[in-house]
Structure 1
């Protein structure tokens, strides 16, 4: 485990311990709920944890954040752990699967991290009005922009990790939306990016 921890970079010892607890809980719960593909568990620290952490290099962890379709906690739980010592950072995790909500609540309790778990469907949940929105492996970009319209402040920022087909997703989204975006190459997956979306409006 120790050499795997190196993938999370220069963070506090307490943060490392919290991430270890999270990783252990995920491996314990995953056979029952299947939150991540079992084949990816041997590479958990790079494939999921470091992949989620890179969002914090693009956007400072402060203000009100909402992670949509949190599932097993990527990137929401990872970011909540990384920002746990910042009083100005508040993370909400939105997930419609009650079993996954129980898992997320357990991780927060066991790690001592303060974040809110909302058991609700994204489309019908009351608008959150957050500063920053995240979602990983949830939906095509065109659908994510609809979610952003509902839950993100007009001047807010959305951060969406995307795979190798990200350019195709942008082209399809531009049929319905006009939006400012920047693609930052992924540090963990070649060909993937983290899309940072700013101002946006429907065509």
Structure 2
């Protein structure tokens, strides 16, 4: 795991505790993954933050769910000039995200409780998504909300190569696939220059 300050470590631990508390009522993560929360979820999101290493700007997390990777990005970027906006249409999950932001003292983070394609374009510098949609659909969302000079960090499982090939039918984009450190078959797709084909 990335070396982090004591305060950041405490926030990550408090976030883990909040997920454990809320998960029986709202399915934030698969219950079977809770015992391995750190390796399955936290470390997965931390590697994305380390890869992006954002210094400033607007970070938009699409389909935030239980806050992975968006809340982790907000925790890690709490001492930077980084605003993190979490987009989650499920009202109960949004309530969890707002509670977490309040309890973890993250004034750099906020929540939009609406559907991704119905909100105004966000012109984000950085966009992230984890287990949200196939790449062709994801790129539609990224194209709407990312500024032309921005970078998207899309966490994908074993089908990422097929999805990338399918996405090329409708989209032009530059892709750098970074192997996941938590799953040998997964990758973080670093996507730039998104435009219609």
Measured in 2, the distance between the counterparts of 1:133 and 1:49 equals 18
Query: Could you list the per-position Cα deviations for residues 29-72 of structure 1 after superposition, in whole angstroms to 9, with x for gaps in the alignment?
Result: 01111011000001100100110111112112221110001000
Q: How big is the shift at 1:85?
A: 1.1
Work out whether 1:32 is the aligned partner of 2:25.
yes
Which residue pairs with 2:189 in the alignment?
195
TM-score by length of structure 1 reads 0.94
Measured in 1, the distance between the counterparts of 2:59 and 2:2 equals 22
Measured in 1, the distance between the counterparts of 2:36 and 2:96 equals 20
Measured in 2, the distance between the counterparts of 1:91 and 1:186 equals 23
Q: How big is the shift at 1:113?
A: 1.1
Query: Could you list the per-position Cα deviations for residues 53-98 of structure 1 after superposition, in whole angstroms to 9, with x for gaps in the alignment?
Result: 1111211222111000100000000010011111x11100010011
Which residue pairs with 2:10 in the alignment?
17
CA contact 2:177–2:188 (8 Å) conserved in 1: yes
Measured in 2, the distance between the counterparts of 1:59 and 1:166 equals 19
Superposed CA RMSD in Å reads 0.8
Q: Give the total of aligned pairs.
A: 195
Q: How big is the shift at 1:9?
A: 2.7
Which residue pairs with 1:123 in the alignment?
117
Which residue pairs with 1:4 in the alignment?
none
Measured in 2, the distance between the counterparts of 1:9 and 1:122 equals 31
Which residue pairs with 1:177 in the alignment?
171
Which residue pairs with 2:79 in the alignment?
85
Measured in 1, the distance between the counterparts of 2:194 and 2:85 equals 22
Give the unaligned 5+ runs of structure 2. Answer: none
Work out whether 1:63 is the aligned partner of 2:57.
yes
TM-score by length of structure 2 reads 0.97
Measured in 1, the distance between the counterparts of 2:149 and 2:135 equals 18
